[in-house]
Amino acid sequence: MKDFSQGDLIKLDGYKNLFLIISKNAFIKAVHMFHVCPVLQGIEAGPLHIPFTGVNGTAGTVICEQIKLIDPNVRNCSRVDRILYGELINISDAVQGMFEYD
């Protein structure tokens, strides 16, 4: 398995959009899988739709409510960019907020 990390923007074969890895690095190392959210273009920002710009200029909106578990040993994945830590914090907070108690 390639070394993927939280905050990586990846391409999955068979999909035209990118995905953002949101799993913690300890989880990725322990189970050799990771959770992703899709990155779409032209989506209006909102509480669970968070726009970003990657380190290399990749831009889009992370759709936080569409979490998927990916096994990179089964899917052909490649890293294309990564997001800045501050943007990762905002996205992680939004995902975590979906599972908090009322």
Cα 21 vs. chain centroid, distance in angstroms? 3
**Per-residue pLDDT tens digits of the chain, which is 102 residues long:** 579 999 999 999 999 999 999 999 999 999 999 999 999 999 999 999 999 999 999 999 999 999 999 999 999 999 999 999 999 999 999 999 999 877
SS3 letters for 73-92?
CCCCEEEEEEECHHHHHHHH
pLDDT of residue 74: 92
pLDDT of residue 1: 56
Among 70, 89, 68, smallest CA distance to 79 is for: 70
CATH of the domain at 65: 2.30.30.110
Q: Give the structural domain span for 40.
A: 8-97
E strand segments, 22-82: 34-40, 49-53, 59-63, 68-70, 77-82
Number of domains in the chain: 1
